[in-house]
Copies of this chain bind each other. A is one copy, B any other.
């Protein structure tokens, strides 16, 4: 899922986004409840009409950003009181208000409101938080009428196998339409993330979508699918695009580098995106070093296409029972140096 934080996948018009053919995108509840506010979105006919997007939208619960962005907050059993990181205004999110906001925005998939423990919390803190997250999950299910949107639960538990297992049992016992692995990519090492993901994913029900939140690199997506993950979201393709860091079938291209100044070839000769079909690395570097807005657009088109095309390739490979070969081929062509 490309991330459309403020009802806009950064740098793209909705028409450009459609041309990249994602099945679903993600909106951030925290950002949208502050700007432009759920009342406005509801009055204007919901998020689909607001951002002119007629395919599926998943919203997060707001929890992650409350815990990572909001400056002041009180976490109570009832919910979380916090101040906007923009203007300091006071807001409140709970399982009930989060589900309500997501329903009113008119998304297709809502996420249950959870507490996402930051990396570094003790096992005791994580366990205590986890128990509240489970109580909140029950309240989310209760608040969610049978009507749309679908509602996904979130498994927490830090890097602790036993807590993750307990969380899966709790969350899987509730009436959710899908289950997400939360609390990863929050500062832990890559090995800890992969270990948590590989341990937790097979425990999830096979008959519900499995969603790994906030992950990750192309390699991470392949690892996740290998473990049984169905869905991902990550700002990496759009954010890296703005920084001129471009994913290709042969590894990362840092487009500002002088080696591309005179390079008349396409960014990725094997990519069929608009950027690779129409302009050269030299032109992309020229736009980037001169801070042209079109640089963000061309780079984002490529990176988002690269991610979506990787997932299309993975789905085809699974359908033709050749995922392992597909993954090996992809990884063999990436340089072994850091691809973060």
Whether A292 and B10, one on each chain, are in contact in the complex, defined by CB atoms closer than 8 angstroms, is: yes
* One of B36, B261, B279 near A261 (C-beta < 8 A): B36
Chain A interface residues (CB < 8 Å from chain B): 6-8, 10-16, 35-36, 40, 43-45, 50-52, 242, 261-262, 264, 274, 278-280, 282-283, 286-287, 289-290, 292-294, 296-298, 301
Of B51, B262, B282, B293, the residue contacting A10 (CB under 8 A) is B293
Q: Can you show 8 pairs from A to B with CB atoms below 8 A apart?
A: A6-B290, A7-B286, A10-B293, A11-B294, A40-B262, A50-B280, A293-B296, A293-B297
Closest CB in chain B relative to A262 CB, distance in Å:
6
The distance in angstroms between the C-alpha atoms of A297 and B8, with both chains bound, is 12
CA separation between A177 and B305, bound complex, in Å?
45
Distance in angstroms from A313 CB to nearest chain B CB is: 24
Which single residue of chain B is at the shortest CB-CB distance from A285?
B36
Chain B residues within 8 Å of A8, by CB: 287, 292, 294
What 19 new A-B contacts, CB under 8 Å, besides A44-B282, A45-B264, A242-B293?
A: A6-B287, A6-B290, A7-B283, A7-B286, A8-B287, A11-B293, A11-B294, A11-B297, A13-B297, A14-B278, A15-B274, A36-B282, A36-B286, A40-B261, A40-B262, A44-B264, A50-B282, A51-B279, A297-B297
Q: From the candidates B10, B242, B262, B301, name the one contacting A294 in the complex (CB within 8 A).
A: B10
Pair A279/B44 contact, Cβ less than 8 Å: no
- The chain B residue sitting closest to A279, CB to CB, is B52
Bound-state CA distance A188–B230 (Å) is: 64
Q: In the complex the two chains form, what is the Cα distance from A14 to B298 in whole Å?
A: 10
Q: Which residues of B contact A274 (CB under 8 A)?
A: 13, 15
Chain B residues closer than 8 Å to A283, beta-carbon distance? 7, 44, 50-52
Query: In the complex, what distance in Å separates the CA atom of A34 from the CA atom of B294?
Result: 19
* Most-contacted residue by chain B among A11, A262, A283 (CB, 10 A): A283
Q: Which residues of B contact A11 (CB under 8 A)?
A: 293-294, 297
| A12 surroundings in chain B (CB, below 8 A) | 294, 297
Min CB–CB distance A28 → chain B (angstroms): 12
Q: In the complex, what residues of B have CB within 8 A of residue A287's CB?
A: 6, 8
CB contacts (< 8 Å) of A51 on chain B: these are: 279, 283
Closest residue to A15 on the B side, CB-wise?
B274
A286 to B261 CA separation, bound complex (whole angstroms)? 37
**Which residues of chain B have C-beta atoms less than 8 A from A264's C-beta?**
43-45
Across chains A and B, which 8 residue pairs bring their CB atoms closest together, nearest first? Answer: A11-B293, A52-B278, A8-B294, A44-B264, A36-B286, A8-B292, A52-B279, A293-B296
Per a CB cutoff under 8 Å, which of B261, B282, B292 touches A6? Answer: B292
Indicate which residue in B45, B278, B290 contacts A35 across the interface (CB closer than 8 Å): B290
* Minimum CB–CB distance for A60 against chain B, Å: 18
